[in-house]
Amino acid sequence: MSTHNVPETFSIPVGPLHVALEEPMYFKIDVQGETVSHVDINAGHAHRGIEYLTTKRSMYQNVVLTERICSLCSNSHPQTFAMAAEKIAGIEVPERGIYLRTVADEMKRITSHLFNVALLVHLVGYETYFMHMMQVREIGQDMLESIFGNRQDIGAMCIGGVRYDLDDKSIAYIKGALAKIEVEVQDFIKTFKTNGAILRRTKGVGVLTHADAITCGVVGPVARASGVDYDVRREAPYAAYDRLPLVVHGATDGDVWSRAMVRLEEILTSIDLLRVCLRDLPGGPVNINDRPDIPPGQAVTRSEAPRGEVIYYLRTNDTPQPERVKWRVPTFMNWDGLRFMLQDAKVADIAMIVNSIDPCLSCTER
């Protein structure tokens, strides 16, 4: 049709620094008109060599270092690392410590999910609602700051238990904050089901089919929204998850909307789990109050971070430093899913689809 000698296919860069991208990832995108025809992902903009550093630090220093791998799942890293050390050394975490680990985990999950879904609304262009959601998230952030003294790196974990305790006053405060968040999140779910702007931008957009989800090995809410019924908290329980009424949420459409809905529903489940934990919180010590040497050995441990399965491999030797620490974060697996989600997507939806995997680059590249 075109009489001009203009190519129909262009190659456009998205990132690593881009107004709508939250993470410094470079996408080389071939477009045909407004439609994405091919995606190439180029990583390496936040590589810090933390894996190398772990072998220069003692086991106990590494609890601090691993917390700094990521900010939104900062609790999952030291927890999974500590679980590996405890497995090698045969350390039994006291019952109260086990419950408090779960409490810290679920509080972080609530604020992490709220952050991601709020950003989605921002990318949809519904700025007032974005600010409202971030305001609700502040209730959770205030909760973290009040209990742990910090908003992101909460420093709750140690090898052999946790480093914080709750009393009646703080438990009452958490329950109050949860009640406020719960009402708002129920409202978010209603909005997501009815609001035209959100539905039009997110329904049927960025689809990852069930088969592709299996092939890519994606994890977490990204997998569950594509019908992969897998949650480490249920499949390979740790902490107190084997005795909690955990509901695993899923969807089958695999689109941006489904991923957001899974996260919103998981916030409500986290609130339920927190209430049960606070009700059943056993007495006794919160940790083993000791720093034993970790003997030579190796262990593989997993946990469900807000974004999905975190897996740690730890090998220790006779020295205080580990011989090798290796971990894989959920986002490391989920980037690949983007190649399928972005295929045939509109250029205007790219940033939103990227956001829908809740990407974390500092985790991915370490």
Binding site residues, other proteins, CB under 8 A: 43-44, 47, 49, 51-53, 87, 214-217, 230, 235-238, 242, 296-300, 302, 309, 311, 313, 315, 317-318, 323-324, 326-328, 332-333, 335-336, 365
Nearest to other proteins of 292, 295 (CB atom): 295
Around 62, how many Cα atoms within 13 Å sit in the side-chain half-sphere? 31
CB atoms within 10 A of CB 6: 7
Nearest to other proteins of 300, 348 (CB atom): 300
164 Cβ partners below 8 Å, 6+ apart? 100, 104, 147, 148, 156, 286
Nearest to other proteins of 192, 230 (CB atom): 230
Nearest to other proteins of 106, 365 (CB atom): 365
CA distance linking residue 142 with residue 164, whole number of Å: 16
CA distance linking residue 284 with residue 43, whole number of Å: 46
Q: Least separation, in Å, of the C-beta of 366 and other proteins? A: 8
Instruction: Annotate 257-290 with b (16+ C-beta within 10 A) or e (fewer).
Output: bbbbbbbbbbbbbbbbbbbbbbeebeeeebbbee
Query: Strands 35-42 and 26-32, how do they pair?
Result: antiparallel
Nearest to other proteins of 132, 234 (CB atom): 234
SS3 call for 253: coil
Q: Least separation, in Å, of the C-beta of 234 and other proteins? A: 8
Nearest to other proteins of 71, 317 (CB atom): 317
Q: Least separation, in Å, of the C-beta of 358 and other proteins? A: 18
Q: Least separation, in Å, of the C-beta of 311 and other proteins? A: 5
Nearest to other proteins of 155, 322 (CB atom): 322
Q: Least separation, in Å, of the C-beta of 63 and other proteins? A: 20
Provide φ and ψ at 226, rounded to 5°.
-100, 20
Q: Least separation, in Å, of the C-beta of 291 and other proteins? A: 22
CB-based contact 167:175 (threshold 8 Å) = no
CA distance linking residue 5 with residue 103, whole number of Å: 62
Query: CA nearest 329: which of 282, 363, 281, 289?
Result: 363
Nearest to other proteins of 191, 364 (CB atom): 364
**DSSP string covering 2-39:** --S---SEEEEEE-SS-TT-SS--EEEEEEETTEEEEE
Q: Least separation, in Å, of the C-beta of 237 and other proteins? A: 5
Query: CA nearest 110: which of 17, 184, 207?
Result: 184
Nearest to other proteins of 175, 243 (CB atom): 243
What type of residue is 31?
A: V
Q: Least separation, in Å, of the C-beta of 57 and other proteins? A: 12
Q: Least separation, in Å, of the C-beta of 123 and other proteins? A: 25
